[in-house]
Amino acid sequence: MILTNHRPSTIARERAAYRKRQTVRSVLIAATSTGLLGTLLVVAVTGAPGWERVQQSFFDPQIARDALPDVLTGLWLNVQLLVCCALGALTLGLLLAVLRTLRGPVFFPVRALATGYTYTFRGLPVIIVLYVLTLGVPGLRLQGMPSVLVLGGIALVLTFGAYLAEVFRAGIESVHASQLAAARSLGLTYRQTMRYVVLPQAVRRVAPPLLNDIIALQKDVGLVSLAGPIDAVRAAQIATAESFNYTPYIVAGVLFVLLAIPLIAVTDWVTLRAARRQAER
């Protein structure tokens, strides 16, 4: 017999009503506490003796409106550089991770080179790599030397590729050895095993830390301005030099935060999804 008019029991309805009340209560408490804390911060900052001077130097609405078009134009360069550098760093990191996980004594030199590379570029500050490639390499005066912008992007790819390589390697090594043995027993080559069995699982497992590194890269693309290209940071610096006011830097910072919010939201969503899948197993 199929029940078509199922009604929840009294206990189930009471439990649902209780959960709804608790949810509303939690939201009200969170909103109230957030409002109180925000009010206290605003009062503390605006009540400081030097607030008027700080407001004029960092939060001038007219200067912000004047600087916004140039900073936005520079931000588009940052976005383009971010996309290119992210793709390059992900490709380089995956290649290094695969090289570091090769087995057999014949591949020892390859593993040693990949390990030395990751150790070196994870230890070097990004700004030093940028200076070497954007100021030192052009001094060689080689034929076909790329622009400073391209050299700056290469510096970011080399640095973040080392970080991403360790993330990929952790994902590859997290796949149980029995899956590799099962794939090889089915006749798959090592290359096919990595492509169809190991890498799909590895990338899915390390997606949250990969996205976190991309967010870090999104901030560091602004360092390219040290070499001369007019990105959002350099445009803000030029506007600051013209007006003797630091508000353009605040404009650039706000735009970088707005640019990062979608990436952060995607990272949180992927992390939550991975946690739910792990809990369901």
Segment 236-255, tens digit of pLDDT: 999 999 888 999 999 999 99
Tell me which residue range forms the domain holding 260: 60-280
With 70 as the cut, is the pLDDT of residue 281 above it? no
pLDDT band for position 2 (cuts 50, 70, 90)? low
- Which pLDDT value is given to residue 68? 93
Range of lowest pLDDT (5-19, 72-86, 117-131, 154-168): 5-19
Would 154 be classed as within a structural domain?
yes
Q: What is the structure's pLDDT at 167? A: 93
CATH number for the domain including 140? 1.10.3720.10
What is the CB neighbour count within 10 angstroms for residue 43? Answer: 10
Residue 2 included in any domain: no
Residue 270 forms part of a structural domain: yes
Number of domains within the chain: 1
Kindly state whether residue 137 falls inside one of the protein's structural domains: yes
Residue 9 resides in a domain = no
Q: Please tell me the pTM assigned to this model.
A: 0.81
Residue 55 lies in a domain: no
Average pLDDT, the chain: 88
